[in-house]
Amino acid sequence: MFANYLTPNMKKSALEAFETVLVLAPHTDDGELGCGGAIHKLIELGKRVIYVAFSTCEESVPEGFAPDTLTHEVKAATAELGITKENLIILDYRVRHFPAHRQEILEDLVKLNRELKPDLVFCPSSYDIHQDHGTISMEAKRAFKNTTLLGYEFIWNNFQFSSQCFIELNESDIAKKVASMEQYKSQSKRLYAKDKLIRGAANYRGLQAGVEFAEAFEVIRWIV
């Protein structure tokens, strides 16, 4: 479903079809980077958005920061996008060890599906080469096989990407995405956290969709 083929009313109705949205973030900041603009847009439309961070990456926190830094930063970052405290779930899987815990992760996803009954799920794309991202993507397909499932992109983790769906964003959506990433002080030296890259990627995807800003997604499953 390409944004440049849809009238404004059709674009709105496509998102209006969803009520409960689940964002699966292998690590803190993954959800903001992959679909932060869409998260803000959906919340502005009055949708319930639940964010699940599977790891706070304590082993990867840069020198000079406390081990629980990312726990505090994800709370501030998701709040910037409009996600309430009640809709933020933080799990404690060990970073870079997800493949060894596939069954436990699947069971957590099945439980989330049973309890939350989301009608739209965002997860890493099928093309993501990071072992933790790939595990979440694969197990999400099993747990949410009867749910609309969109794969978000990380341009530094994808050798290729199938941009089958575009969600148009406005300046407010992009500004909130940038503001959410600014909450990650521990990640500020990473190139992907920079305002210029975030805006540039949104401009690039927007150009492909015939709009100013957009985020692109792989359509893993589309059920409306």
> Using one digit for the tens of pLDDT, what is the confidence trace for 44-100?
999 999 999 999 999 999 999 999 999 999 999 999 999 999 999 999 999 999 999
pLDDT of residue 83: 98
User: If we measure between CA atoms, which residue out of 58, 53, 54 comes closest to residue 78?
Assistant: 53
> What are the structure tokens assigned to 164, written together?
């089958």
pLDDT-based confidence at 2, cuts 50/70/90?
Answer: very low
**Spatial distance between the Cα atoms of 60 and 223, rounded to a whole number of angstroms:** 37
Q: How confident is the model at residue 11 (pLDDT cuts 50, 70, 90)?
A: low
Residues 6+ apart with CB under 8 A from 5: none
Beta strands in 46-190 (DSSP E): 48-53, 88-90, 120-124, 148-152, 165-169
Question: How does pLDDT run across 34-53, given as a tens digit for each residue?
Answer: 999 999 999 999 999 999 99
Q: Taking 80 as the threshold, does the pLDDT of residue 4 lie above it?
A: no
Q: Sort strands 165-169 and 148-152 into parallel, antiparallel or unpaired.
A: unpaired
pLDDT digits (tens, 9 = 90+) for 149-179: 999 999 889 999 999 999 999 999 999 999 9
Level-2 CATH architecture, domain 3-221? 3-Layer(aba) Sandwich (3.40)
User: Where in the chain are the domains?
Assistant: 3-221
Residue 49's beta-bridge partner residues?
A: 21
pTM: 0.94
Per-residue pLDDT tens for 98-134? 999 999 999 999 999 999 999 999 999 999 999 999 9
